[in-house]
Amino acid sequence: MFLYKKALTAVILFISVVGLYAFEQTLSPQQDITVGDKVVLNIRAEGLTVDSLDKEKLSEANFGDFELLDIQPAQDGSVDFLLSVYKSGKVELLSVEIPYTYIDQKKFVKTNALPVEVKSVLDPKNPPMDILGIKGIVNFHHGLLWYLSFLIILIILSLIIYFIYKYIKKRNRKPTQEEIIQSVPPKEYALKQLDELIALNLIEKGNIKEYYDKLSDIIRFYVSRTYCVDGMEKTTTELYSMLKNKITPEQNRELKNYLINCDFVKFAKLIPSKEDIKNDFDTAKGFVEKL
């Protein structure tokens, strides 16, 4: 009876040992592995699947110089362990216990350690020169005064270049209409405007209101430039008040009455005779000549 129990125990131990080590292990590729490459450790064992693995304990496993990246099911039902290595030379894939559950029983397979030769991505004939030797101390051979003089000269040259640039830019800039007007004396500009008004032939075209509107603006603009007042947007009464201390009272009254007459034509649709139109033009020209 005693011998029977011992034999039964031996058989159970043998079956357990056979069950423990009954697995297949394959590493691919096994050669021409370069730093950073991915390799696959394929494990085939009874009941071993991706879902049966104890991933929590497996995450603590030490694969040596290799890093576990992912676990995937293989096409034949086995399990692929996706690994990578970041060290060149002779490295080792350590033996690892892979725990899993099969038919409600805790099992594991213990992989075999494998030596692996990993090639470097660098050319051994041309080693990198990313770390260079320390250069010696650089001595400044010039004194502080030399550098100060150099700085002053640089500032002076910069200012000269700046003023040359501003001069060329100003010289090549086209004057605005306002600048052109300001460059012509007020009397000359007003007389030119009166000549241009005649050339428009507005009276012949029947545009009497437009004619008086332009005639009034010519006088207002001339007075504004001559006496430095803003008379273009003012009423006739307001312009009269602005000119009280700038021209004689008689001239101011004449100008006021003249502009009121123009306002009648512009706003009250008064139609003057041809003789009145000629007299109004001559009066406007007289204002330019004497004011």
pLDDT for res 15: 42
Q: How far is CA 194 from CA 45, 127, 184, 187, 217, in A?
A: 112, 90, 15, 11, 10
> Residue 34's beta-bridge partner residues?
119
Cβ partners under 8 Å of residue 157, min gap 6: none
SS3 readout for 240-272: HHHCCCCCCHHHHHHHHHHHHHHHHHHHCCCCC
Give the long-range contacts of residues 242-246, CB within 8 A, separation 24 or more.
Answer: none
Topology classification of domain 2-118:
Immunoglobulin-like (2.60.40)
Cβ partners under 8 Å of residue 64, min gap 6: 91, 92, 93, 94, 113
DSSP type of residue 53: B
- 3-state secondary structure at position 133: coil
pLDDT for res 253: 92
Q: pLDDT tens per residue, the chain (291 residues)?
A: 544 445 444 444 444 444 444 788 888 887 878 888 888 989 898 888 888 888 888 888 888 889 888 888 988 888 998 888 888 888 888 888 889 988 888 888 888 888 888 888 776 666 555 555 566 666 656 778 888 888 999 999 999 999 998 888 887 777 777 777 777 898 889 899 999 999 999 999 989 999 999 999 999 999 999 898 988 888 988 988 999 988 999 998 999 998 998 888 888 778 898 898 999 899 989 888 887
pLDDT for res 184: 87
* Residue pair 291/247 in contact by the 8 Å Cβ criterion: yes
- pTM score above 0.75: no
* Residue pair 165/173 in contact by the 8 Å Cβ criterion: no
pLDDT for res 90: 87
Provide the angle, in degrees to the nearest 10, between the axes of the packed helices 186-199 and 208-227.
170
Cβ partners under 8 Å of residue 52, min gap 6: 100, 101, 102
DSSP type of residue 85: E
Q: How many C-beta neighbours within 10 Å does residue 85 have?
A: 21
Q: Cα separation of 290 and 239, whole Å?
A: 18
